[in-house]
Structure 1
Amino acid sequence: MGNCIICGTPVDGEICKSHEEDAVFEFRGSSASELSPGRYYRGTVDGYADFGVFVDIGDHVTGLLHRSELDQRLESLDWEPGDDVYVQVLSVRDNGNVDLGWSIRQREREFRGKLIDTGDDEVLPEEFGDDRSESAADSESSDDGGSAAASDEDATAATGDAAAASESPDEADVEAGDLQTAVDDSGPSDDTGAPNASETVTTGSGSVATESAAASTPATDDAADAEPALNRTTIDTIDNQVGTVVRLEGEITGVRQTSGPTVFELRDETATVECAAFEEAGVRAYPDVDIDDVVALEGEVERHHGDLQIETETLEILDGEDGETVRERLEDAIESEARPADVSLLADHDAVAAVEDELVDAATAIRRAVMEARPIVVRHGATADGYVAGAAIERAVLPLIREKHTREDAEYHYFERRPLDGRVYDMDAATNDVTSMLEARDRHGEQLPLVLLVDAGSTEESVDGYDLLSLYDAETIVIDDSRADDEITDAVSLAVAPSLAGVDVADVTSTALSANVAAHVNDDVRDDLVHLPAVSYWENAPEAYVDLASEAGYDETGVSERREAVALEAYYQSYKDKRELVIDLLFADGEGSQIPRDGDLAAHVSEQFRAKLETELETARENLTTEDVDGVTVAVLDTGAFTHRYNFPTTTLLLDALHREQREANDEPFVTLGVGDDELHVRATDQLDVRALGDDVAAAAPDAGVHVVGGRDGHVAFLPGERDAVRDAALEALGETLA
Structure 2
Amino acid sequence: MTHSSDAGGAGETVPDRGTTVYDLAPGCTLEDVSAGNHYHATVNGVVEYGVFVDLSASLSGLVHVSELDGTYDVGDELIVELLEVRENGDLSFAERDLDDYVTESVDAGGDVDVADLRDSVGRTVTIEGRVVQVKQTGGPTIFHVADGTGIVPGAAFEEAGVRAHPEVGREDVVRVVGEVETRDGALQLEVESLSRLRGEAEAEVTDRLEARLEERAEPAEVDPLVEWEAFEKLRPGLEAIASRLRRAVLGGRPIRMRHHADGDGMCASIPLQAALENFVASVHEDPDAPRHLLKRLPSKAPFYEMEDVTRDLNFALEDEERHGQRLPLLLMLDNGSTEEDTPAYRAVKQYDIPVLVVDHHHPDPDAVAPLVEEHVNPYLHDEDYRITTGMMCVELARLIDPDLTEDLRHIPAVAGLSDRSRAETMDEFLALADEAGYSEDDLERVGEALDYAAHFLRYNDGRSFINDVLNVACDDEERHRELVEFLSSRAERDVQRQLGDAMPHVEHEDLPNGAHLYRLDVDEHAHRFTYPAPGKTTGRIHDEKVLETGDPVITIGYGPDFAVLRSDGVRLDIPQMVTELSEELPGAGVSGGGHLVVGSIKFVSGTRETVLDALVEKMGEAELDEELRSTLVRDDD
For residue 559 of structure 1, the aligned residue among 443, 447, 450 is 443
What's the CA shift for 1:331? 1.1
- Structure 1 residue 619, shift from structure 2 partner: 2.0
- Equivalent residue for 1:96? none
- Provide the rounded CA distance (Å) in 1 between the counterparts of 2:583 and 2:402: 52
Q: Which of 668, 684, 699 is equivalent to 2:551?
A: 668
Shift of residue 319 of structure 1? 1.1
* Code of the aligned partner of 1:666: T
C-alpha distance in structure 2 between counterparts of 1:317 and 1:566, whole Å: 50
Give CA-to-partner distance per residue, 1:347-384, whole Å, 9 cap, x none.
12344222111011111111111111111111001111
Distance 1:359 1:323, change over 3 A: same
1:242-281 pair list within 5 angstroms: 242-281=121-160
Q: Is the 8 A contact 2:474 2:480 kept in 1?
A: no
Within 5 Å, give how 1:41-52 maps onto structure 2: none
Assess, with a 3 A threshold, how the Cα gap between structure 1 residues 700 and 504 changes in structure 2: closer, same or farther. closer
Query: Structure 1 177/351 Cα, relative in aligned 2: closer, same or farther at 3 Å?
Result: farther
Partner of 1:627: 509
Match of 1:730 in 2: 615
Change (3 A) 1:697 1:620: farther
Indicate if the aligned counterparts of 2:222 and 2:398 stay in contact, CA closer than 8 A: no
> Which amino acid in 2 is paired with 1:722?
T
Find the aligned partners of 1:157 and 1:244 in 2 and give their Cα distance: 30
Change (3 A) 1:683 1:160: farther
CA deviations over 1:688-711 (Å, ceiling 9, x no partner): 122333355456654533333568
Code of the residue aligned with 2:228 in structure 1: it is H
Q: 8 Å contact 1:274–1:310 — kept in the other structure?
A: yes
Partner residue of 2:488? 606
CA distance in 1, matches of 2:544, 2:142: 59
Provide TM-score, normalisation by structure 2.
0.80
Q: Which deviations, in whole Å up to 9, do the C-alpha atoms of 1:163-183 show, x marking residues without a partner?
A: 745354489999835549x9x
Q: Which moved more, 1:662-671 or 1:438-447?
A: 662-671
Q: Is the counterpart of residue 690 in structure 1 residue 574 in structure 2?
A: yes
The residue aligned with 1:91 is none
- How many residues of Structure 1 are paired with residues of Structure 2 in the alignment? 550
The correspondence of residues 379-394 of structure 1 with structure 2, limited to 5 A, is 379-394=258-273
Q: Which runs of 5+ in 1 are unaligned?
A: 1-135, 140-155, 183-208
Task: After superposition, give the CA deviation of every residue in 1:104-147 in whole Å (9 maximum; x if it has no partner).
Answer: xxxxxxxxxxxxxxxxxxxxxxxxxxxxxxxx9xx9xxxxxxxx
1:681 counterpart residue number? 564
SS in 2 for 1:672: strand
CA distance in 2, matches of 1:310, 1:420: 40
Cα distance, 1:551 vs. partner?
A: 1.6
Between the aligned residues of both structures, percent identity stands at 31
State the partner residue of 1:651.
534
Change (3 A) 1:537 1:620: farther
> Are 2:345 and 1:466 aligned?
yes
Distance in 2 of aligned mates of 1:228 and 1:728: 82
Q: Which moved more, 1:450-459 or 1:236-245?
A: 236-245
User: What corresponds to 2:106 in structure 1?
Assistant: 228
Corresponding residue for 1:516?
Answer: 395
CA contact (8 A) 2:131 2:171 kept: yes
Report what 1:345 is aligned to: 224
Question: What is the one-letter code of the residue matched to 1:550?
Answer: D
Q: Which amino acid aligns with 1:661?
A: E
More strand by share: 2
The structure 2 residue matched to 1:720, chosen from 595, 605, 610, is 605
**Counterpart residue number, 1:574:** 458
SS state of the match for residue 665, structure 1?
helix
Per the alignment, residue 481 of structure 1 pairs with 360
- 1:362 counterpart SS class: helix
What amino acid sits opposite 1:499 in the alignment? Y
Residues 461 and 710 in structure 1, CA contact (< 8 A), matched pair in contact too: no
Aligned-pair CA distance for 1:598: 8.3
Q: Name the SS of the counterpart of 1:572 in structure 2.
A: helix
Please tell me the residue identity of whatever aligns with 1:657: R
Q: Distance in 2 between matches of 1:405 and 1:333?
A: 15
The 5 A counterparts of 1:204-603 are 228-230=106-108, 231-487=110-366, 488-505=368-385, 507-538=386-417, 539=420, 540=422, 542-587=426-471, 591-593=473-475, 600-603=482-485
d(CA) in 2 for partners of 1:598, 1:419 = 21
Q: Distance in 1 between matches of 2:432 and 2:136?
A: 49
Q: Which amino acid aligns with 2:489?
A: E
Shift of 1:313: 1.0
Higher mean C-alpha deviation, range 571-580 or range 240-249? 240-249
* Distance in 1 (alpha carbons) for counterparts of 2:349 and 2:170: 19
Residues 1:176 and 2:82 are matched in the alignment: yes
Q: How far 1:251 moved relative to its partner? A: 0.6
Q: Which runs of 5+ in 2 are unaligned?
A: 1-25, 29-44, 53-61, 70-77, 625-637
Q: CA RMSD in A?
A: 3.2
With structure 1 as the length reference, what TM-score do the two structures score?
A: 0.69
Amino acid at match of 2:193: T
Amino acid at match of 1:384: G
SS of 1:635's partner is: strand
Closer/same/farther in 2, CA of residues 269 and 726 from structure 1, 3 Å limit: closer
**Deviation, structure 1 residue 286:** 0.8
Instruction: Give the match for residue 636 of structure 1.
Output: 519
What amino acid maps onto 1:606 in structure 2? Answer: S
How many Å apart are 1:524 and its aligned residue? 1.2
Residues 416-447 of structure 1 deviation map (CA, whole Å, 9 limit, x = unaligned): 10001211112222222111111111111111
The one-letter amino acid paired with 2:443 is V
Cα distance change on mapping 1:427 and 1:599 into 2, 3 Å: closer
1:661-718 Cα offsets, whole Å, 9 max, x none, are 2122233322101121110121112341223333554566545333335687642212
Any residues of structure 2 matched to 1:77-88 within 5 Å, and which? none
For residues 228 and 377 of structure 2, the distance between their equivalents in structure 1, rounded to whole angstroms, comes to: 14
CA contact (8 A) 2:133 2:170 kept: yes
In 2: Cα distance, 1:449 partner to 1:395 partner: 18
Q: Distance in 2 between matches of 1:547 and 1:420?
A: 31
Distance verdict in 2 for CA 1:714–1:667, change over 3 Å: closer
